[in-house]
Each structure stands twice: as C-alpha cells, then as structure tokens.
Amino acid sequence: MLCLSKTLRKTLMSVGAAMVFFSTALAQAQTVPEMPDTLKDLADKGAQVRFLGDDLGLSGWFVFMKGSQQFFYETADKKALISGVLYNDKGELVTSEQLKRLQSDDQDIIDQFTGGIAAEPAAEKTASTSTLPSQSEYETLSPSEQLFVTIEHSNWVSLGDKDAPVVYSFVDPLCPHCHDFVNELRRGFLKRGMVQLRIVPVGLMGADSMKKAAFLLSAPDAADRFYKHLDGDEKALPVENNFNTDGVELNIDIMRGWGLDVTPFSIYRDAAGKVKIIKGMPSRLEEMIGDLP
C-alpha cells in the first residue's frame, strides 16, 4: 500500500523539477529565473516549457502541451503570474519578438508546435475531466479502483471517438506488441467509433522510446502522428534531446509503483462499471469491445 500512496501523491502534487530550455544567446545575456510553481506542475504533466526572457520587467515563459500554446509573464516580485501576450506602450507585440528570438535556436521544434502567436492564448487541455478523490476517499477504494483512478489521472493522449467508451493502455512507442494492439484496434474498432483508446505513453525500451513518448504527449496532432509512426514514418515521433520527459516519467512511476512490467497494459470499466484489466495483447479484441458500456 505504501507504493500506492506515493504514486497518488505524485499524481496529486507535482513531481521532480521541470526542465527549462532557452536559446544560447539569451542564456548568455540573461539569468534564467526559477520556473514558477504553476508551470512546474504543467511540466510534470508533459508540457514543454521554455524561457522567453525578461522584457518590460516581466519574466516570460512559453508553454506548449497537447496542441495548446500559452504565454505566461511573472512579475518581478514573483507574486503574480499573468497569462496572455505582452504589448509595449507603442502597441507592439513583444511576445512575437520573444518567440522569434527563441526560434533562432529551436526553430524545428517551435515550428512543429506553433502556428504563430494566437490573438488569445488557447485554453489548456487537461488530461482528465473527472475529479481526483481526496487521500481519505482514495484509501477506501478497492485496489482495482485505486489503480483505475490513478491511471485515469496519468498523462495520456486520445485516439478515436471522444464520446466512445474508454480503454486506457500503457504503450511504449517502440514496443512491437503495442503496435500490433493499436493497429488491430485501429482497423476494427477505432475507425468505427466503437472505442476511445487513451494511450498512456511510457519509455521502457531505452532513451529513444522515452523521447518519442515525450514528443507524443506534447504534440498538437498526437493521434495523427502516432498513426503515422505505426505506418513506419520515422519522422512522425522524432527523438528530441532537449525535450522535457517529466510527464512520461510520471507514467513510468505509476507502472513501477503498481508492479506493472509489460506493455501494452490495459484497463477499462465494463458495462456494469466493474474494472477490468488486460495484461499484454488481448487474445480476442472483440471480447474486450463487447464488454464495454
């Protein structure tokens, strides 16, 4: 039970320090401040966070996660964090210049994740719409319910119809059994809107799989990229050495905390609301689909 409590606390609270990336020129000119706690929490969930610089007395931060981009500015006294874009007294968009400055060092990554600066920052996409139970409520749940709740609040990306019954699966981007599992679901059930697969990316097969999983968590077009990856497109999930992997590491911590040692590992609720678990590749996907609500 000790592992379960630790895992829950890592889900309820942020874990680890977030990685911050910035251009070499900017690093030489300015001291990078400590990342605000709010942004550390987003980084723990898989967001990529980069320092934009200090302009007009405000420390700027660029955050991109699951297709949304946001800009944050922290006041010098660190008592306020403002979401939005920054203009100067001449009406010039300072955020645009900051992003160009960042692009000079990170052009490939920034171009893949942004379409320019939005007039209004996009809303953050959250991993789960359900409410986390309190610690005391969690401890009253059965082990299978505890596992389901923990995975439900992990870091995941969705494939398939958003309104279809949900199956969660731990998936390693380089795991051939995971490829077979998702491809079979894709051909027979995902395209027909019969199931929503929420992939919980992990990196258990080496450094490359960790980095590919981190890219998948942050990608604005995650489903499309993962399908291309399954089809053999080696560029769909690139290996980026400067990517924050905290979100993937949290998913791995959940697996290890529960003693899970195989991918794919799937969990779902059946038509009666009972939690069902499938370790490895299901022998008959039709039975799993027929078991869903």
Domain annotation covers residue 129: no
- Predicted local confidence at residue 22, as pLDDT: 34
Residue range 202-218: mean pLDDT, rounded:
92
Domain with 47 in it: 2-113
Domain annotation covers residue 119: no
- Predicted local confidence at residue 106, as pLDDT: 58
Q: Report yes or no: 34 and 59 within 8 Å, Cβ to Cβ.
A: no
96 and 180 inside one domain: no
Residue 95 φ then ψ, to 5°: -60, -35
- Predicted local confidence at residue 218, as pLDDT: 82
Q: Report yes or no: 205 and 172 within 8 Å, Cβ to Cβ.
A: yes
Q: Report yes or no: 1 and 146 within 8 Å, Cβ to Cβ.
A: no
Number of compact structural domains in the chain: 2
DSSP state of 15: -
- Predicted local confidence at residue 133, as pLDDT: 79
Least confident of 26-30, 44-48, 109-113: 26-30
Looking up tokens 């998948």, which residue turns up? 216
163 and 248 inside one domain: yes
145 and 285 inside one domain: yes
Residue 178's nearest CA partner among 145, 152, 204 is 204
Q: What is the CATH number of the domain that holds 26?
A: 3.10.450.70
Domain annotation covers residue 118: no
180 and 282 inside one domain: yes
* The CA-based dihedral angle spanning residues 10, 259, 164, 63, taken in that order and rounded to the nearest 10 degrees: 30
* 148 has a pLDDT exceeding 90: yes
* 8 has a pLDDT exceeding 80: no
207 and 147 inside one domain: yes
Question: Which residues touch 241 (CB under 8 Å, ≥6 apart)?
Answer: 211
pLDDT band at 17 (very low <50, low <70, confident <90, very high): very low
Q: What is the CATH number of the domain that holds 174?
A: 3.40.30.10
Domain annotation covers residue 48: yes
66 and 23 inside one domain: yes
DSSP state of 143: H
Residue range 163-188: mean pLDDT, rounded:
96
**Mean pLDDT estimate for the chain:** 81
Q: Report yes or no: 98 and 52 within 8 Å, Cβ to Cβ.
A: yes
Q: Is 154 strand, coil or helix?
A: coil
Residue type present at position 192: R
